Amino acid sequence: MVYMLFGISTKKDDDWWIGVTALDTPHLSKYESLMFQGNGYLGIRGSLEEHYLNEKRDMFVLGTFDKFENEATELPNLPDIVNIEIQVNGKLLSLNHGETTDYQRGLNLRNGEIIRSFNWQNGKDKLHFEFRRFVSMSNCHLFVSQVKITPLSENVRLQIKSGIDGQQTNSGTQHFVEANKRLFNARFVQMQTQTQNSLVKFALTEYHRLFLNTSELILNPRLQLERRQIFANYSIDVEKNKCLTFVKYADVFASNDKDLQVNVSKDCLKQLEHVGREDYQKLLADSTRVWEDKIWQNSSVEISSHNNKPQIAVNYARYQLFANVPRDYSKNIGAKGMTGEGYKGHAFWDTEIFMMPFFMMNIPSYAHNLLIYRYLNLIGAQKKARQGGYHGAQFPWEAAMPEDAESAPLWGSADIITGEPMKILSGETEIHVTGDVAFGVYQYIKNTGDQEFARRMGYEIILQCAKFWASRVSWNVSIDQFEIIDVIGPDEYKEHASNNAFTNYMVHWCMRKGAEIITQLRRDDLITYDKLDKKMDLSKLFKELILKTSKLYLPEPNNKEIIAQDDNYLSYPRINVDKYRASDNVSEIFRDFDLKQLDKLQVTKQADVLLLLLLFEDDFSKDIIKKNWDYYEPKTIHDSSLSFSTHAILANDIGLYNKAFEYFEKNCQIDLGTNMNSSVKGIHMAGLAGTWKIVIEGFGGIRTGKEGLQIQPHIPSTWNSLKYSIVWQGKRIKVLVTHTSFSVTSDEKFEFSYHDHNYHVEPKEKVLIAI
Ligand code: BGC
């Protein structure tokens, strides 16, 4: 049975399916984003095989950025391989015509297969269609799709056109030069092309097989070449009740692939000649096995609740995170992954602060890759620091290729007062990202115990960041302290903040950690010390860090225990923000105010001070957290998908359990909810990571702060139990939480604390604790 979950339909008895029961053409883009398929290399939006108005076909390969002068660098939208055009007795299959019944389209979250079926009647012809397709998890270059067509009323003549369509653009920008297009061995259509400026070469090859019931038809296609397009055409007579199966095998290679053997064209063809011998089911089974054995086995979360909404939401979140995370270290994960053109494939602080916990506690090797990328990105970050007149490494607010200094665009949407495009200052002043990257590196080292990474790369990243901060802070004579002026904090509605509390605390942490690392290396690891000393003059840096850490201004809680978001925030007028909080539309507030006005109001875009309190919770009492929650939560309009998860976790921590669940549900609905505009340009990767964070760090109570591993769970009243596993210092730990107790077990020995009690757990011992 199908019923509505959030906005999209799901099945009551299936925790792994999201779908729709009607075509819903006005909202195609939302479903294209939601039904994204990917494998961390190749990503394809869930566009339909036949064309519709409003569609936005996108296919990306991670790490293949291209840039035109005066435009931001972006992942180029590759030639489309999803298209299949079908004519029945000369009439084009389009669900805008004729009558469609029993329509169902869904994404199986277990293995990323999209299945669509319906009956279509046009005139006297009635046919049954079933489309299936997947992006392979076992072969990163491969996409396979299959359509079964059964005439139900008459014999029909079917014409099928399928191929590689390079007339795609990134919202109008054509990143590819005209291609070499040709047929190989009478059956394989191939397109070779190249990005206009970054000169990344691509080859895409397609091969088709047709079956009538179970017998294969050996048909050579009629080739059709157009500008940037190559299609294969087939024409077949099919008798009533016989089933024609059309299978499309397609693969994509890029010249910067790490596994390239000869060249893109040859590799692409050779692979398809081999893979094309297998049938759809076998290739799907290979891919499903990787999802099962590598992914689901290593990231389990089971929620028993009054309905399966939370389970579906957390499955969906995990599905998208794993479908988008790069499998090699030269790439990062974009704020929208590869699910759409939003944010152009760029990575933000979203990776370290929101997604890192998910990857490092499930499959740490993926977190490791993301951090090696940042190590490579030191080239760009040092360039950026130098350009601003600073030292060390200043990580870009928006990151693309590792050698790029900054990839944030310069201009945004129109100012409602002046009518001119608003300048985007984030690339210049949203500098907290440099602390966030260092923070992510340290979290990874602490959680995994990966000392090799620390010695080879991690410490260097943190020290380079600390060095940047030491050069970025400025002396304020009147307070006799260092301060940090003119920044954008997490609340991007304050464009010229001074002493943004989040930033200052993060900088303080980073410089202090830098000094600690130098002390530790000098004491325990002279080889690493000497290596880094040659690059950074560590004794000079040490002195500077000690001085600047001790004299950096940190906004303390005031007499009402409120930490000022920045120097001026508390003096600004307040406004009623109910209408903006209630609105489904992000940025609704810009209908009434421009950024200059927002700059001077007590309105917060997203968790800012509250995020500081969550990340550094060991340093603040519950009372301070509660007071600041009461102060900032009502002023926060959650215009970023990064906001709800912080609120949900903090609410759970301070005993506001209903609020915590309310924020959890809001978070789940960012993409899966009824707002049909929210995901048009791609889904929200940090929001999805937030779903997992709320479940594991919030309700599951996992923290890895100063005291090591802590488990202090509290599950929502509508849940019966929560069962999950995490990896902590290389050990997989399993936790089962109910309302009255929780149990913890592992195959290895480990320690954790629950409130003030420490527990030593022996291998396979099950420790049961009453709550
Ligand atoms: C948020 C940023 C975030 C970016 C990408 C913006 O709306 O304010 O904090 O990094 O989106 O997700």
Number of domains the chain is built from: 2
Contact between 759 and 767 under an 8 Å Cβ cutoff? The reply is yes
CA of 679 to the centre of ligand 1 (A): 14
**Residues 644-661 pLDDT 10s:** 999 999 999 999 999 999
CA of 511 to the centre of ligand 1 (A): 25
What whole-number percentage of the chain has pLDDT above 70? 99
Closest atom, ligand 1, to C-alpha of 490: 9
**Residues 122-180 pLDDT 10s:** 999 999 999 999 999 999 999 999 999 999 999 999 999 999 999 999 999 999 999 89
Contact between 435 and 469 under an 8 Å Cβ cutoff? The reply is yes
Q: Are residues 390 and 475 in the same domain?
A: yes
Of 298, 318, 345, which residue is a domain's last? Answer: 298
pLDDT of 3 higher than 50: no
Instruction: Answer yes or no: is 27 within a domain.
Output: no
**Residues 32-75 pLDDT 10s:** 999 999 999 999 999 999 999 989 999 999 999 999 998 999 99
pLDDT of 238 higher than 90: yes
Instruction: Report the nearest-CA residue for atom 8 of ligand 1.
Output: 640
What whole-number percentage of the chain has pLDDT above 90? 93
Instruction: Answer yes or no: is 719 within a domain.
Output: no
Whether residue 394 is annotated as binding a ligand: the answer is no
Q: Are residues 291 and 333 in the same domain?
A: no
- Active-site entry in 430, 492, 665, 697: 492
- Residue 195, φ and ψ in degrees, nearest 5: -70, 150
Give the residue from 615, 562, 571 showing the smallest Cα distance to 349.
Answer: 615
pLDDT of 5 higher than 70: no
- Domain that residue 266 falls in: 35-298
Instruction: Identify the pLDDT of residue 678.
Output: 87
Mutate to test the pocket of ligand 1, among 324, 349, 350 (most ligand atoms within 8 A of CB): 350
Q: Are residues 240 and 387 in the same domain?
A: no
pLDDT of 464 higher than 70: yes
CA of 489 to the centre of ligand 1 (A): 11
Give the residue from 84, 34, 723 showing the smallest Cα distance to 323.
Answer: 34
Q: Are residues 64 and 193 in the same domain?
A: yes
**Residues 720-760 pLDDT 10s:** 999 999 999 999 999 999 999 999 999 999 999 999 899 99
Q: Are residues 276 and 348 in the same domain?
A: no
* Active site annotation includes 633: no
Q: Are residues 68 and 188 in the same domain?
A: yes
Of 671, 691, 711, which residue is a domain's last? Answer: 691
Instruction: Report the nearest-CA residue for atom 7 of ligand 1.
Output: 640
**Residues 563-598 pLDDT 10s:** 999 999 999 999 999 999 999 888 899 999 999 999
Closest atom, ligand 1, to C-alpha of 685: 12
Instruction: Answer yes or no: is 139 within a domain.
Output: yes
Q: Which helix (H) or strand (E) holds 53?
A: none
CATH number, domain of 535, equals 1.50.10.10
Contact between 688 and 711 under an 8 Å Cβ cutoff? The reply is no
Q: Are residues 377 and 289 in the same domain?
A: no
The pTM score is: 0.97
pLDDT of 513 higher than 60: yes
Instruction: Identify the pLDDT of residue 697.
Output: 98
Give the residue from 91, 159, 102 showing the smallest Cα distance to 125.
Answer: 91
Instruction: Identify the pLDDT of residue 413.
Output: 79
Contact between 43 and 64 under an 8 Å Cβ cutoff? The reply is no
Of 668, 691, 714, which residue is a domain's last? Answer: 691
Helix, strand or coil for residue 543? helix
Instruction: Answer yes or no: is 316 within a domain.
Output: no
Q: Are residues 208 and 344 in the same domain?
A: no
Ranges 8-17, 137-146, 149-158, 348-357: which has the least confidence: 8-17
8 vs 148, higher pLDDT:
148
Q: Are residues 291 and 403 in the same domain?
A: no
Instruction: Answer yes or no: is 713 within a domain.
Output: no
Average pLDDT, the chain: 96
Instruction: Answer yes or no: is 744 within a domain.
Output: no
Band of pLDDT at residue 612, cut at 50, 70 and 90: very high
Band of pLDDT at residue 705, cut at 50, 70 and 90: confident
Instruction: Identify the pLDDT of residue 350.
Output: 98
Ligand 1-lining residues (CB < 6 angstroms):
335, 343, 348-350, 490, 492, 605-606, 640, 642, 686
Count the residues in the chain.
Answer: 771
CA of 640 to the centre of ligand 1 (A): 6
CA of 563 to the centre of ligand 1 (A): 23
Instruction: Identify the pLDDT of residue 78.
Output: 98
Band of pLDDT at residue 8, cut at 50, 70 and 90: low
End-to-end CA distance of the chain: 37
Instruction: Identify the pLDDT of residue 324.
Output: 98
Q: Quote the CA–CA distance of 552 and 468 in Å, as a whole number.
A: 14
pLDDT of 213 higher than 60: yes
Instruction: Answer yes or no: is 306 within a domain.
Output: no
Contact between 339 and 59 under an 8 Å Cβ cutoff? The reply is no
Q: Are residues 287 and 389 in the same domain?
A: no
pLDDT of 1 higher than 50: no
Instruction: Identify the pLDDT of residue 9.
Output: 67
Mutate to test the pocket of ligand 1, among 348, 494, 684 (most ligand atoms within 8 A of CB): 348
- β strands within 285-393, DSSP E: 301-305
Q: Are residues 508 and 637 in the same domain?
A: yes
Instruction: Identify the pLDDT of residue 7.
Output: 54
Instruction: Answer yes or no: is 317 within a domain.
Output: no
Describe the crossing of helices 459-472 and 432-448 by its angle, rounded to 10 degrees: 150
Q: Which helix (H) or strand (E) holds 575?
A: none
Whether residue 349 is annotated as binding a ligand: the answer is yes
CATH number, domain of 240, equals 2.70.98.40
Q: Are residues 69 and 215 in the same domain?
A: yes
User: 685: burial class by Cβ within 10 Å (0-12, 13-18, 19+)?
Assistant: buried
